[in-house]
Chains A and B, each alone.
Chain A
């Protein structure tokens, strides 16, 4: 597998890096959500409109390219429905040929997807009345995914419990889908919702009451296509988490190289050095795993399912580890509201729990590994 970047990919990465560091200082999210000022939310929204809307179409590009962009996004904390719209909603609407896909891609519409029920599981299930939705309040439309109507029972169907367990459970959040699902769109303004405060104030969460499908003209999506969409969203989110971890790492190395105690930089103490070396190794591995998964998705390689679970769990684990280790290495200063570290700590710990946390992705892998192991014993 060839990890070298084309000149276009290098340029994309550099452009994204410059864009986020220039246009999205942390003051933007602080003013919009952490220490709100009167026009904070509208300034943040204006920055999104001007600088990120044109990039929502990344959801139509190769997964590798979108990851390169999102890794840079993760190194800045933004309050914008960017991942929801470009990595989740756009590929989903594209997969069902929904006309709103074009409007998302040209930047005239923003969207998010209602997938997670109130238990936090990322499943498509019609029976759930309360849905947890990311970036609600920042988007124009919400895309709903309903478990298929004309095939098996979504939950607890007698034939699905043991015999076919890996197939019904391993679908990246689509447990009990039963072959196919229905995708339909509702204007956000029509929905009844309650804001659910979460760790990451810059990626707001709301509990949306699922409306009746009514005359919303659903479109059919196969289980396999829905998997592909969710795999893409997971890998792109993993790339974002790698960027978040990278910011934490760079901030930490800079700090421990200058902060002195006992007459020397604290970063010269071996105990602290080895902690950072081990965490850096884990981050390097996670970063590589994410781009490997992205290449698998682009090539539709058979390893794509496993590679996605590896990438999402490795990235989530490393982002959370870096949040904790960065906090420890900064000492008291890192625990202050003024320091940006907690913005990243919040994002890392919240992002890992989107689209299935690391433990969930590992359980999916275990199902797959042990099923294929069984066939070879």
Chain B
């Protein structure tokens, strides 16, 4: 055990830092919670930034150059996450394409489908991921959107919901039921569906923040070529488990970096609001500081097991811990403002309403990508080995 990394890895870091310092657009700096512009579209600067990262081999560093990377090793991937996290720089504002669809196509797709991956990762093609349905949220295996094979095409009927970026997406990575008689997990397949296909209707849904980032998607006798099947017929459940495997050791970095920024800003905020000697607040912030620091250490501990190829139980804890922690941090930011804590007007609010906004955004973090309750169930059975109910 030691604090630093070797010099070879530090030179990777300095190359990255100088790229970020010269190329990152001002809009990307400072860790603002970017998800969800008012109309759910993707700003031009974000498109340019993602393409620039890709072209310079800084989009998914573990990938080879043709996929936007530079064949980085796991530690270099961690350093990458650290440096972006420290500066609050997002690499993309729509993670579905580069983090889910690209890697899944590369792992499970046909040769033609693999060829779609670079554009998904570079952000040239906007993808949405259609998993959740009205009756299939946490219980994804209950999904009921059907796809019936008819000659050389599927006919798709059903509905998806909470589908991020559906309004602006060109393609949907869509989970469908292809065998209604097989077991719940056994009759599921994945199709890529062009969003401009006849029979696809998108109805925007607004977040609590007001942004129309997600949507409902309806499929009405949508005809999809059989060649759009990803992986095996009825083999879709496996694909739900796929994503950027080589980055799994560092997925926590971003959330922890945001929490570290928040805690030091909260201390400053409480001082500037004249509450720096309020003993209750001091204690509250110190407890949060202890949590942030120990969570960060836990992330690195998990990385060590990951890098050695062992499974890292730490990672099952990280999403649960960091999403809940961030909600508490931002809520504390509102509490420090006292009666002003509910004001969201950019001009009148403290810190331009940053805490209020981030708090609203953070409320989604304990729901999307597996709710906190589901995470606890997973830890109970897979990490602690407790008997199933």
Contact = CB atoms under 8 A, between A and B. Distances in A.
Interface of A: 1-5, 9, 64, 253, 256-257, 264-265, 267-270, 273-274, 276-278, 280-281, 284-289, 291-292, 294-296, 298-299, 301, 306-307, 310, 313-314, 362-363, 365-366, 369-370, 373-374, 376-377
Interface string B284-313: 011101110111011011011001100001
A4 B303 CA distance: 9
Main secondary structure of the interface of B (DSSP, over half): helix
Contacts of B303: 3
A281 B379 CA distance: 9
20 contacts: A3-B300, A3-B304, A264-B389, A267-B386, A267-B387, A273-B386, A274-B373, A284-B317, A286-B294, A287-B301, A288-B314, A291-B297, A292-B293, A292-B300, A310-B290, A362-B283, A369-B286, A373-B271, A376-B264, A376-B268
Interface residues of B, number: 49
B282 A4 contact: no
A371 B358 CA distance: 26
Given A2-B304, A366-B285, A274 B380 contact: yes
B2 A373 contact: no
B348 interface: no
A369 B380 contact: no
A284 B377 contact: no
Q: With a 10 A CB-CB cut-off, give which of A9, A257, A306, A369 has the most chain B CB atoms.
A: A369
A269 B381 CA distance: 11
Contacts, number: 154
A2 B389 contact: no
A64 B287 CA distance: 25
Given A285-B298, A370-B276, 17 more contacts: A1-B4, A3-B300, A5-B1, A253-B386, A256-B386, A268-B389, A270-B377, A274-B376, A276-B380, A291-B301, A301-B3, A314-B294, A362-B287, A365-B289, A366-B283, A370-B267, A377-B271
Nearest to A306: B293
Contacts of B4: 1-2, 299
Contacts of B290: 289, 310, 313-314, 362, 365
A284 B298 contact: yes
A281 B321 contact: yes
Contact of A370 (B282, B295, B380, B389): B282
Contacts of B352: none
B272 interface: yes
Given A265-B387, A281-B321, A273 B294 contact: no
A277 B287 CA distance: 20
Interface of B: 1-5, 264, 267-268, 270-272, 276-277, 282-283, 285-287, 289-291, 293-295, 297-298, 300-301, 303-304, 307-308, 313-314, 317, 320-321, 373, 376-377, 379-380, 383-389
B375 to A, nearest CB: 8
Given A294-B1, A295-B2, A310 B282 contact: no
A236 B215 CA distance: 53
B386 A310 contact: no
B31 to A, nearest CB: 17
A307 B293 contact: yes
Contacts of B385: 253, 257
Given A284-B317, A288-B300, A277 B285 contact: no
Nearest to A376: B268
B285 A299 contact: no
Nearest to B380: A273
Contact of A373 (B276, B295, B298, B307): B276
A3 B1 contact: yes
A280 B286 CA distance: 21
Nearest to B266: A373
A292 to B, nearest CB: 4
Contact of B1 (A9, A277, A289, A370): A9
A365 B284 CA distance: 12
Contacts of B272: 377
A260 to B, nearest CB: 10
Given A285-B291, A288-B301, A276 B2 contact: no
